[in-house]
Amino acid sequence: MKIEFENHIIEFNVEYASRKKIYIQMDSLGFITVKAPNGTTEENVMRAVEQHGKQLTQRLQQIAKVRDTPKTKEYQEQGKFLHLGKEYFLHELIDTADLSEEELKINLKKFYFASCKKIIGERIKIYQEQLKVKHKSFEIEESRTKWGSCSSSKKLTFNYRLAMAPLEVIDYVVIHELCHLTHMNHDRSFWRRVGSIMPDYKEKEEFLARHGQAMTL
């Protein structure tokens, strides 16, 4: 969902659960989640976001400035890295004891590759059943330009950096590539198929466009 506030577009996802009031959360990438009680109307959700519009737009602008400023990763125990859309200290992701900076870099990348392979494998099983398609194989790779691809031989590839993204964004890339098993081009029928499983897929595309640069080592 999205609203316009003082010439700024605020995009957000909504999660409904058994709770008493609306809670708005923004992560370090500027990804906004509105947690609302079951049965909350769309109008009330949008009103709540609008009421916090000034704070949200200010934080989004601050995050944009930080994102656009080149930053050197700190390969130390207290260095922070993304995993599934949240920031973790390096020592929460891998063992950091008695390792050099180069060894930490290597081990962290191995962690992301392994995590991405596990998650992608699980999500493929879910969505290929829904889409009634069957891939031949998949692998995790390193790429600066592509989040995923599908070959004519039904082999799928995914960028290891997806392990840094929120799960719903990973789902979008998985769905996107699985849909290519039956629609190799980005024609209307392809996007209709994607939208049949994930109606808000454009929000996920925009997330990758906006935050993809921050999801790197």
Residue 169 CB contacts under 8 Å (≥ 6 apart), including other chains:
85, 162, 204, 207, 208
Here the tokens at position 216 are 């790197």
Taking 70 as the threshold, does the pLDDT of residue 147 lie above it? yes
pLDDT at 79: 78
Greater pLDDT, 33 or 159: 159
Greater pLDDT, 191 or 2: 191
Which residues partner with 140 through β-bridges?
Answer: 158
pLDDT at 68: 59
Place of tokens 């099983």: 125
The backbone torsions φ and ψ at residue 213, rounded to the nearest 5 degrees and listed phi first, read -65, -30
Which residues partner with 111 through β-bridges?
Answer: none
Q: What confidence tens digit (pLDDT) does each residue in 160-190 have?
A: 999 999 999 999 999 999 999 999 888 899 9
Half-sphere exposure of 186 (CA within 13 A, CB side): 3
Taking 60 as the threshold, does the pLDDT of residue 123 lie above it? yes
In angstroms, how far apart are the furthest CA atoms of the chain?
A: 54
Q: What confidence tens digit (pLDDT) does each residue in 39-97 have?
A: 999 999 999 999 999 999 998 888 777 655 545 567 776 778 999 988 899 999 999 88
pLDDT at 145: 81
Q: What confidence tens digit (pLDDT) does each residue in 19-41 have?
A: 999 999 887 667 788 999 999 99
Here the tokens at position 74 are 């700190």
pLDDT at 60: 85
pLDDT at 195: 95
pLDDT at 22: 95
pLDDT at 213: 80
Taking 70 as the threshold, does the pLDDT of residue 156 lie above it? yes
Please answer whether residues 166 and 123 qualify as being in contact, where contact means their C-beta atoms are separated by less than 8 angstroms.
no
DSSP state letter for 137: E
Here the tokens at position 40 are 């909350």
Half-sphere exposure of 17 (CA within 13 A, CB side): 8
pLDDT at 36: 93
